[in-house]
Structures are given as C-alpha cells and as structure tokens.
C-alpha cells in the first residue's frame, strides 16, 4: 500500500510538471504565431514597396547589393588554409568565380544559385558529381565535426535540419548563396549554427 501511495504521489507530481510544460508550450506557440504574423506583415509591406519600384530602380538596387557583396568579400581575409584536395580546390575556385551572382531558389547556375545549387555546380566544374540537396550532400562524404579540421572546399552544413550548405573558405568563413535577395558571398560561419563539415 505504501508503494502504491508513493507511486501515486510520483504520478501526481509528474502530471503537475507536465501541465506546467504544456502551458509553457501553448504560450510559446501563441508567441510564435504572433511573431509570424508580424514578420508576414513586414514582408508584405516590403513586397508592396518593391512592387512600386520601376525596372530601372530595381536594377540599380540589385547592382548596389552586388557591389556590397563584392566589397565585403574583398575585406574578408581567408587565411592560408590549404584545400582538402585538388578537386576541392577546383570546386572552391569555381564558386569564387561566381561571387556576386544572385540567389534564386532551386537554381544550379551558371548565373543564379541556391545554396546546394552552388555547391553541386562548383563540384561539377571539378568533374565531381554530388547530390543536389543540402540534406543529401550531408551524407556525400566523410563528416568533420571540428571546425578546426575543416579545409578549403569542404562542404559546411548548417542548422539542425541541414537545410543550408556552403563551401569552407578558410579563416572561419563560408562561401555560400545565402537567401532570397542576397548574392553569392563569403560570410563568417559564426552567423549560422554549424553542424559539421563534409569532405568530398
């Protein structure tokens, strides 16, 4: 009877803890829904503003963004990290040749890219075929979990769901196609949650 009573107390405590966690989860969900609406509202306003621009103004804006990306790349010191292999060096050189190219979802070059489109295109220029998506590329070679072991041309996987990929550029930098509205560029890996590298 004593054991049953102890079990009942334990279950009651667990139930109370679960209720608190459920309430926290509901609060978080409500807050996220509110923030999502706010972001969607801002995106809608930005799109309306963009729609009011003339073709000439849009072209001028794109040119400014491309110049900014190029200037940022010129300021970044990539250090002297060696390439992982000859094919990695060739892939990295190919990706460098398209710095400033615009991001376009589901594009694999040669003039517009999404993140995995850039990496698969770059390796194709080195006569190496890798899968098309970042999740598939995550399993395309040997995984490297320490950033200090990365070498130029290694694939770098970001985010828990592995939805973003770039090429290691040296000195803690990644060469990648970031997102809609951006251009192929070098950027600090510290700006995104690093998961692991992949050596092809």
Among residues 200, 132, 128, the alpha carbon closest in space to that of 167 is found at 200
163 flagged as catalytic: no
176 flagged as catalytic: yes
Which tokens go with 172?
């803690």
Return the bridge partners of 184, or none. none
Compute the distance between CA of residue 164 and CA of residue 135 in angstroms, rounded to an integer: 8
**Catalytic annotation, pick one of 107, 115, 163, 179:** 115
179 flagged as catalytic: no
Question: In the chain, count of helices (H) and strands (E)?
Answer: 5, 6
Phi, psi of 120 (to 5 degrees): -70, -40
Compute the distance between CA of residue 97 and CA of residue 116 in angstroms, rounded to an integer: 16
Residues assigned a catalytic role: 115, 164, 176
């Amino acid at each position: 009877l004593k054991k049953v009573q102890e079990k009942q107390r334990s279950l009651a405590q667990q139930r109370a803890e679960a209720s608190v966690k459920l309430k926290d989860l509901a609060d978080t969900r409500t807050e996220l829904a509110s923030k999502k609406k706010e972001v969607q509202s801002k995106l809608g306003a930005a799109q309306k503003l963009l729609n009011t621009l003339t073709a000439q103004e849009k072209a001028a804006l794109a040119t400014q963004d491309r110049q900014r990306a190029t200037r940022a790349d010129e300021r970044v010191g990539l250090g002297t990290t060696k390439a992982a292999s000859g094919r990695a060096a060739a892939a990295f050189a190919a990706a460098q040749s398209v710095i400033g190219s615009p991001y376009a979802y589901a594009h694999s070059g040669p003039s517009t890219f999404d993140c995995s489109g850039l990496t698969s295109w770059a390796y194709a220029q080195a006569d190496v075929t890798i899968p098309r998506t970042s999740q598939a590329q995550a399993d395309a070679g040997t995984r490297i979990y320490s950033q200090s072991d990365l070498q130029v041309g290694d694939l770098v996987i970001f985010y828990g769901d592995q939805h973003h990929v770039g090429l290691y550029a040296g000195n803690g930098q990644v060469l990648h196609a970031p997102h809609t509205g951006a251009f192929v560029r070098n950027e600090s890996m510290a700006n995104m949650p690093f998961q692991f590298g992949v050596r092809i």
